[in-house]
Amino acid sequence: MQQLNYVGPRTLEWREVPEPELCSDGAALVRPVAVATCDLDALIVEGGSPFAPPFAVGHECVAEVIDLGDAAGADLEPGMLVSVPFQISCGECPQCRRGRSSNCSAVPFMSTYGFGPAVAEWGGFLSDVVCVPYARRMLVPLPDGLAPATVASASDNMADAYRTVAPGLEQDPGAPVLVVGGAAAGSIGLYAAGIARSLGSEWVLYVDGDESRRARAEALGAQTMAEKPKRLGPFPITVDAGADPEGLALALRSTAPDGTCTSCAIYFGEEPALPLLEMYTKGITFRTGRANAREAIPHVLELASTGALRPERVTSLTVPWEQAPEALAEGGWTKLVIER
């Protein structure tokens, strides 16, 4: 079968690899039909990630189920469209039972599709066929009427964005939200702004120097600004989605007393300084770390299916499957979706 591999900066190649087989009675084989870029893919394609090539790419997708093990679950059947989380998780270990699927203990640390130390085992979603080892746990059926390309990013970036705002809005309904966006391709901050509005935030302010992303944020219901002052607000809920030390400091200083700031950005190299005295005196909570995608996927699919969230407004380019190498290498997208 064909599998797309990253082989060097702005260089991607289709390679012939063995087709995977069902690895257990609980596994499924799926055929990706819509694959979206993660913001990390922009860094990977540019050669800026810590992962050495070559490796299979693609870790956000909607797929069609083509085969199932005998114990894969009665709720699944061939032909069904499903969202596939980018992280491998069993659903039964202590970490999974606590909702920490990013640290599932049944598989090696950071077992993911499309990048990371275990990618040689699991491959990437830009492949003809992918094996999902824990089908009952991992696969989330798409609601009827929802186009695969619309929610291909539920596998990771939409789920990542959800966890930055949903817990705070559940505790403080209608609370205003500040999102500092712009990391890499910049889609996560946009999703965070859109999800916050869809969950009832009375005011979402999105800060980003990129004009095109600000326009997308406005289409999702946010107010926007380009400049990054020292502080704004204060906001009870703030999000650092910029991977910029100045933006992180802005989000932290703009967090209200007893508020929460969540960083979904990845900082490679030198670690940014934090305004710890101000954080201490205000008693704010700061969260960072990898998303637990599987737990959030049903929630973002529901928001999209009701029309409360319009994730297609983040998508900047859609191309057919065979154009994936060229479209990825060209770059310049906020959210690229590749359709079979």
pLDDT value at residue 270: 81
Do 127 and 70 lie in a common domain? yes
pLDDT value at residue 73: 82
pLDDT per residue as tens digits for the range 102-146: 999 999 999 999 999 999 999 999 999 999 999 999 999 999 999
Do 136 and 270 lie in a common domain? no
Q: Could you tell me if 181 and 206 are in contact, meaning their C-beta atoms sit under 8 angstroms apart? A: yes
Do 10 and 98 lie in a common domain? yes
**What three-state secondary structure class fits 248?**
helix
At 269, the pLDDT band (50, 70, 90 cuts) reads confident
Q: How many domains does the chain have?
A: 2
Do 217 and 329 lie in a common domain? no
Helices (H), the chain: 39-46, 94-97, 119-122, 135-138, 157-171, 187-198, 211-219, 245-253, 276-282, 293-306, 324-330
Do 125 and 206 lie in a common domain? no
Do 265 and 164 lie in a common domain? yes
From residue 54, how far is each of 7, 37, 259, 324 by CA, in Å? 4, 18, 43, 16
Q: Could you tell me if 89 and 294 are in contact, meaning their C-beta atoms sit under 8 angstroms apart? A: yes
Residues belonging to the chain: 340
Do 93 and 167 lie in a common domain? no
Q: What's the CATH code of the domain at 121? A: 3.90.180.10
Do 218 and 149 lie in a common domain? no
Helices (H), 70-112: 94-97
**What three-state secondary structure class fits 221?**
coil
Q: Tell me: pLDDT of 324 over 90.
A: yes
Over the chain, what is the mean pLDDT?
96
Q: Cα-flanking dihedrals φ and ψ of residue 282, to 5°? A: -85, -15
Instruction: Name the nearest CA neighbour of 164 among 60, 272, 246, 285.
Output: 285
**Domain limits for position 168:** 160-288
pLDDT value at residue 65: 98
Do 118 and 216 lie in a common domain? no
Task: Work out the average pLDDT over 322-331.
Answer: 97
Do 53 and 177 lie in a common domain? no
pLDDT per residue as tens digits for the range 53-85: 999 999 999 999 999 999 998 799 999 999 999
Spatial neighbors of 190 by CB under 8 A, at least 6 apart, are 161, 181, 206, 213, 216, 217, 220, 314, 334
Q: Could you tell me if 203 and 252 are in contact, meaning their C-beta atoms sit under 8 angstroms apart? A: no
pLDDT value at residue 165: 98
pLDDT value at residue 74: 78
Q: Which of 288, 308, 327 is the last residue of a domain?
A: 288
Do 261 and 318 lie in a common domain? no
At 264, the pLDDT band (50, 70, 90 cuts) reads very high
Do 46 and 194 lie in a common domain? no
